[in-house]
Structures are given as C-alpha cells and as structure tokens.
Structure 1
C-alpha cells in the first residue's frame, strides 16, 4: 500500500496514531524529545480532523509544532532551578567556604596544606607562617583559596 495514499485516506487519524506511537516510544526510550513529537502529532491530527488541511500543510504544522515545543521545553528546562536537600554533596570544597582553620605548615610560594577533619587540603593564598589562622574564601577544584584572619 502506498504510504502517501494511506495518509491521505486516513486523514487526521494517521497523525493521532503516530502521536500515540511516539508517546509509547517515549515510555521505552526516555529522553523527552519523543514526548514533544507525540504531542505535536496528536495536535496536528486533531486539527486535520476538525478542519480539512492538505497533507503538505499538515506536515508543516507538525514540523513547526515540534520545533516550538522542543525548543520551548529545552529553554524552560535550562532555566529551571533544581532544589536539593544536599546542595554540596559532590562539591566538598564549596562546603568548606567560610570555615576557619589553623595552618599546619606554612604557605610558601602561594601554596600550602591544611588539615580539615580527616582530609588534608591543598590551599592557595598569601605566604603565611605555620600556626596562623586562615579563612577559606573559595574552592577551585581540590584547591581551597584562603585569606588570613
């Protein structure tokens, strides 16, 4: 059977069925894109059922709806804030910003080490002698930026 002939004969129902198939595929292959394609297919099918629209115009409606819904969702998802009860779970250095510590060894050449809890951290800051108090002001990877207190 000719695919174009079937689409013309089935009208909007072909779009509705295709949209439902895409929604079912989204359940098996999650990612979000098939969801918006399925919704666009269903909307295109409903529009074709209630208003006689030519097949090329139906394809144009489906394409435009798909682009608008996908890019709209991506834009919304990018600006959406995710709330966490443990915001520093994988950023141990950021968790230490604001803490004060006593230098175990001096900072020479801009770098030194300090023990915080059960971990020895590499620190960066102005040259200071051992025994001085420092405050952690930033974390860049595994290096903590400090300033004298």
Structure 2
C-alpha cells in the first residue's frame, strides 16, 4: 500500500480544525487550522523536513497566525460603524434633524412629519407648518425647539 505524503496530513488536520471552528465558533481553531495548512505547504516545498521541525514550524505558525488575528485583524473588524450605537434607537437618530409640524403644538404637544409618518413632538406651542429641530427624545416623543 502506498504511503500518503506527509503534507496531506497537515491539510487534513487544517480541514478538521476549520470544521471544528464552524461547529464551535470563536477564532482560535480557524487560525490554528490556517497554520496547519501553511505547515502543509512548507512540507510540500521542503519534503525532507523532520517531524520535530514540522511540529516547531506548526507551533510557531499557529502562534503567529493567532497573534496576527488578535492584534491586527480583530481591531479592524471590531470598529464601530457611524451610528451603530443608535442602530435600534430610531428617535435618537433624529436628534439634530429638522422637520415641519403637521399638527400644531398645543399645550406642549403636537405632531411632525418625519419621512412618511407622523411623530409625536413636545416643545413650545407653534402653529402648523413651523420648522422645528429635534433636540432630544423621551420614549417615542421627539423633543423639539422652534427654528427661526
């Protein structure tokens, strides 16, 4: 029976580790699997490499790939997109925006046209058609001030 080339075993290990990563997500197994795949390439290029040299190569590559992820790639993936802190808080996204009153503000309460809907607003008494700026949010009510 023919012996399977040693670099194939490294690639099989890489596939197994990456499959474990799919089942148990994190980051660790993926990068160690990548190190195993690269070790397989090293063994393909240098077929006479001893088992000890292969193990050391794998250990160094695993450490370097995990470190590269942790210190270089992870911070770039974790950055916040503009507005992501307010993603599910629609009212807070309206702060600083200007709208026209669709209903007058009487006794401190009225409605403003926001896109294709009406939002409750609270602020100084103003007539219909007045321009207002959102200065805050109280639940689902926009706090507004008059714009001259």
TM bucket, shorter chain:
0.5 to 0.7
> Any stretches of 5+ residues in structure 2 without a counterpart?
none
Q: What is the CA–CA distance in structure 1 between the aligned matches of 2:138 and 2:16, rounded to whole Å? A: 46
Q: Is the Cα contact below 8 Å between 1:22 and 1:38 reproduced in 2?
A: yes
| Corresponding position of 2:14 | 19
Give me the TM-score of the superposition, normalised by structure 1. Answer: 0.56
Q: How many residues align?
A: 126
Please identify, of 133-142 and 52-61, the stretch whose mean Cα deviation from structure 2 is larger.
133-142
| Corresponding position of 1:114 | 110
SS in 2 for 1:131: coil
The Cα of 1:65 is off from its aligned counterpart by: 1.5
Aligned ranges 1:1-149 → 2 under 5 Å:
13-30=8-25, 34-51=29-46, 52=49, 53=53, 55-79=55-79, 90-93=88-91, 94=93, 97-101=97-101, 103-107=104-108, 113-116=109-112, 117=117, 119-121=119-121, 123=122, 128-131=124-127, 133-140=130-137, 142=139, 144-149=142-147
From the two aligned structures, give the one with the greater strand fraction: 2
Give me the TM-score of the superposition, normalised by structure 2. Answer: 0.56
Alignment RMSD (CA, Å): 3.9
**Residues 57 and 26 (structure 1), Cα distance of their counterparts in 2 relative to 1, 3 Å cut:** closer
